Amino acid sequence: MPDSTAAGTVTTRLRDILQLRFTDLFAGLPARMLEPISPANPLKRLGKVLGYAALRLVGNVFQPIRNPEPLHNRVWLYVVSQNNYDSLHFLREARPDTVLVAGQSKQIGRYQVQVNRLSLRRKLLYYWQFPLVIVGLMRTEGRRAWRFFDLIFNAIGYYEVYCRALRHYRPRAVVFANDHNDDARALLLACRREGVPTVYVQHASVSANFPPLAFDLSLLEGQDALDKYHQCGPIRGQTELVGMPKADEFLSEKNLNPMVQRVGIACNVLDDTEALTTAIDYLLSQFPSLTFTFRPHPGDTRDFRFLQAQHPQLVFSNARQESVFEFLSKQDALIAADTSTHLEATLLNVASLYFRFGTHAVADDYYGYVAQGLVERARTLPELGALLLRYQQHKPLDLYRRAAYYNATLGTPEEGHSQQRAARLLAEWLESEGTR
């Protein structure tokens, strides 16, 4: 049923859409990470707004949209990234009534041309709201509304154009793999306004900083996610634990090497370049017989070619071309800080070690992996070396059992069949929705 009160006023709607942007976590990001998202200098923020308006908004008006598939009365799989695509594509294969959908100019990595697009041309019509929203949000969020006015500007109009698209295409349901990006949250609110059922498929580990779970059906990976979402606030709709669909094809290929010979180093955008360099220098000098592979996050724009010049023996993994499971299938151990790759490594029985590259205050055991005993922690390079040496000599064959709290199907008859479980539960739920 349509809910005309779902979105509230334009100010409360934008506050909901930008929920994560107004958290202490986001405001406390290191300057080098926050700068490309929202520059500290207000003139640069204004320049970013003008550039967005000229290139993206006006550009959308002249960009033709020729979708290869019909969108009417289909189940939409809404994606905001390459990872989202990888997480939902199994439903595309399981159900002929599904279509992959993204915003008009959204970048989806290597799947850029394989996704249907929703027009954002009319987004320009709603920017008269900007002064009202800024004033309203400054009352509720204080200085942060001014600090992130460029992000507020970018988010305006998504809700209205998505309401229009839903009325035009009338999808049976919309399936999400993201619950905190501004465009995804705008579509979620639009679905509630227009009475379109919503489904959430968890695609990575979650945090207690996420928005409250607000979908009609949520397919979560395990008890950890459910516990975290209870901390986020009241849970709306039905929840089911389905395991990790994207891991299915790899769970039968667990790493049974009793010794560590190959080590992956995964970094994210929070990790400090100097600290990474120091750690890699140390590891390669201390363990000359091991093969090390360095994998930057796909969203990391830093140029790490200097590492290859310094260490010709260092192997590189391109996250835009090689999936995380393909990368992990070539490793016996993983070293990383705050990334869900720890969980994926443990599921494959890869020894995973938590080590922070730098001393930023944003995240420390962000996902709780150390606290829950999923991975071991090293606080110094000598501690890291000692842990790695231990696993080099002996790596247990049952490390993957530690991940049962995160993956509900692990150790059950449905292990490795999360895709079928998720697709079955979705089918049953859609059938029940159709009979209401």
The CATH number of domain 250-405, selected from 3.40.50.2000, 3.40.50.620, 1.10.1040.50, 1.10.10.350: 3.40.50.2000
Q: Is the per-residue pLDDT at 309 higher than 80?
A: yes
Q: Count other C-beta atoms under 10 Å from residue 122's C-beta.
A: 14
Sign of CA dihedral 131, 136, 137, 139: positive
Compute the distance between CA of residue 354 and CA of residue 336 in angstroms, rounded to an integer: 5
Amino acid at 435: T
Compute the average pLDDT of residues 78-97.
Answer: 93
Can you list the pairs that 223-229 forms with residues at least 24 positions away whose Cβ atoms lie under 8 Å?
223/405, 223/406, 223/408, 224/368, 224/372, 224/405, 224/406, 225/406
Q: Is the per-residue pLDDT at 86 higher than 70?
A: yes
pLDDT, position 232 = 92
Q: Is the per-residue pLDDT at 329 higher than 60?
A: yes
Q: Is the per-residue pLDDT at 4 higher than 70?
A: no
pLDDT, position 138 = 94
Task: Look at residues 86, 88, 79 and name the one whose alpha carbon lies nearest to residue 181.
Answer: 79
Buried b (16+ CB within 10 A) or exposed e, 68-98: eeebeebbbbbbbbbbbbbbbbbbbeebeeb
pLDDT, position 58 = 74
At 295, is the pLDDT very low, low, confident or very high (cuts 50, 70, 90)? very high
Compute the average pLDDT of residues 131-152.
Answer: 94
Q: Domain limits of the chain?
A: 10-244+419-434, 250-405
Compute the distance between CA of residue 58 and CA of residue 248 in angstroms, rounded to an integer: 43
What is the percent of the chain with per-residue pLDDT over 90, rounded to a whole number? 73
pLDDT tens readout for residues 43-67: 999 998 888 887 777 777 777 788 9
Sheet bearing 376-377, strands edge to edge:
315-316, 291-296, 262-267, 333-336, 351-354, 376-377
pLDDT, position 1 = 59
Compute the distance between CA of residue 310 and CA of residue 314 in angstroms, rounded to an integer: 9
pLDDT, position 31 = 82
Between 205 and 355, the higher pLDDT residue:
355
* Residue 264, helix vs strand vs coil: strand
Model confidence, pTM: 0.89
* Residue 369, helix vs strand vs coil: coil
pLDDT, position 140 = 93
pLDDT, position 131 = 94
Q: What are the structure tokens assigned to 323, written together?
A: 């999936």
pLDDT, position 435 = 46
The neighbouring-strand residues paired with 267 are 296
At 363, is the pLDDT very low, low, confident or very high (cuts 50, 70, 90)? confident
At 434, is the pLDDT very low, low, confident or very high (cuts 50, 70, 90)? low
Task: Look at residues 406, 253, 247, 422 and name the one whose alpha carbon lies nearest to residue 330.
Answer: 253
pLDDT tens readout for residues 388-424: 999 999 999 999 999 999 999 998 999 999 999 999 9
CATH architecture of 10-244+419-434: 3-Layer(aba) Sandwich (3.40)
pLDDT, position 124 = 86
Break the chain down into helix, strand, coil percent, rounded to 5.
45, 10, 40
Compute the average pLDDT of residues 259-280.
Answer: 94
Task: Look at residues 151, 196, 193 and name the one whose alpha carbon lies nearest to residue 176.
Answer: 196
Q: Is the per-residue pLDDT at 116 higher than 70?
A: yes
pLDDT tens readout for residues 334-361: 999 999 999 999 999 999 999 999 877 6
For residues 327 and 293, the answer to whether their CB atoms sit within 8 Å is yes
- Say if 10-244+419-434 and 250-405 have the same CATH topology: yes
